[in-house]
């Protein structure tokens, strides 16, 4: 069961009013669970900037993965059989692996881990874990609100393990009907190879509005 946190105390910037191609649209506020959920519902996500301040981001263009566009190569299908998948069994461990200094997750600070772990306990944040012979070798985590799954980060210790986590996520979301999508923030070449596309901020906010009307999938 999901628990709605206390409302945030901050007036967050409206991304619809931001200048085109301006990814960073605000600074400040806090990482209270209510503030973070409000941000995702508005089309924002938090990440610190180089100065250490908390930034609120709304990339233009925005990277998303529509479930129908997800591409799984023959080799990835073969790799999937080597791993075991669980859901929401090691959320904090997945976050810490994603935030390992050897990866690109230095923005995943202890404050982020505390907030997202609280949101996990409240039923909003979820993880996909990938195991091999009892060892955690890959995974991803994110926030689900309605038909939006805001993918935050992924990691792998073995080849293809993070991709296998994404396969499991897409398969899970596909069981819950159409209109859902995964927010990947920025479209990278790696994500593009899996089917991610870049859309305008205006299109993203329109898609988000529709997705928020859907029932969440991870409650099923």
- Per residue in 55-110, pLDDT (tens digit) is 999 999 999 999 999 999 888 988 888 999 999 999 999 999 999 856 565 789 99
* pLDDT level of residue 1 (50, 70, 90 thresholds): confident
Closest to 17 in 3D by CA, of 48, 53, 58, 46:
58
The mean pLDDT of the chain is 95
Report the distance separating Cα 172 and Cα 166, nearest Å.
Answer: 10
Closest to 61 in 3D by CA, of 107, 14, 15, 12:
15
Residues 6+ apart with CB under 8 A from 147: 176, 179, 180, 181, 210, 211, 212, 213, 214, 216, 217
Report the distance separating Cα 107 and Cα 121, nearest Å.
Answer: 21
Q: How many CB atoms lie within 10 A of CB 65?
A: 25
Query: For the segment 145-158, what is each residue's pLDDT rounded down to a tens digit?
Result: 999 999 999 999 99
CA 183, chain centre distance (Å):
6
Instruction: Say what the pLDDT of residue 106 is.
Output: 75
Instruction: Say what the pLDDT of residue 101 is.
Output: 55
Instruction: Say what the pLDDT of residue 100 is.
Output: 80
Catalogue all structural domains in the chain, each as residue range(s) with its CATH number: 15-60 (no CATH), 63-211 (3.40.630.70)
The answer to whether residue 118 scores a pLDDT higher than 70 is yes
Is the pTM above the cut of 0.85?
Answer: yes
Q: Where are the alpha helices (DSSP H) in the chain?
A: 33-42, 74-80, 91-98, 110-121, 161-174, 189-192, 201-211
Q: How many CB atoms lie within 10 A of CB 191?
A: 20
First vs last Cα of the chain: how many Å apart?
10
Contact (Cβ atoms closer than 8 angstroms) between residue 120 and residue 127: yes
* pLDDT level of residue 24 (50, 70, 90 thresholds): very high
213: burial class by Cβ within 10 Å (0-12, 13-18, 19+)?
exposed
Closest to 180 in 3D by CA, of 143, 217, 155:
217
């Amino acid at each position: 069961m999901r628990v709605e946190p206390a409302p945030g105390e901050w007036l967050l910037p409206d991304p619809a009013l931001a200048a085109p191609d301006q990814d960073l649209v605000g600074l400040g506020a806090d990482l209270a669970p209510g503030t973070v959920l409000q941000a995702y519902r508005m089309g924002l996500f938090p990440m610190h900037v180089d100065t250490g301040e908390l930034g609120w981001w709304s990339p233009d263009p925005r990277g998303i993965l529509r479930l129908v566009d997800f591409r799984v190569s023959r080799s990835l299908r073969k790799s999937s059989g080597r791993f075991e998948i669980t859901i929401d069994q090691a959320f904090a461990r997945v976050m810490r692996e994603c935030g390992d200094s050897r990866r690109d997750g230095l923005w995943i600070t202890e404050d982020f881990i505390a907030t997202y772990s609280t949101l996990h306990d409240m039923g909003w944040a979820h993880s996909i874990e990938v195991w091999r012979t009892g060892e955690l070798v890959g995974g991803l985590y994110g926030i689900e609100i309605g038909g939006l799954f805001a993918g935050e980060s992924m990691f792998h210790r073995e080849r293809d393990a993070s991709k296998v986590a994404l396969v499991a996520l897409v398969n899970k979301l596909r069981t819950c009907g159409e209109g859902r999508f995964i927010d990947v923030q920025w479209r990278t070449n790696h994500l593009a190879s899996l089917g991610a596309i870049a859309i305008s901020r205006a299109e993203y906010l329109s898609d988000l509005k529709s997705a928020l009307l859907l029932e969440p999938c991870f409650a099923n």
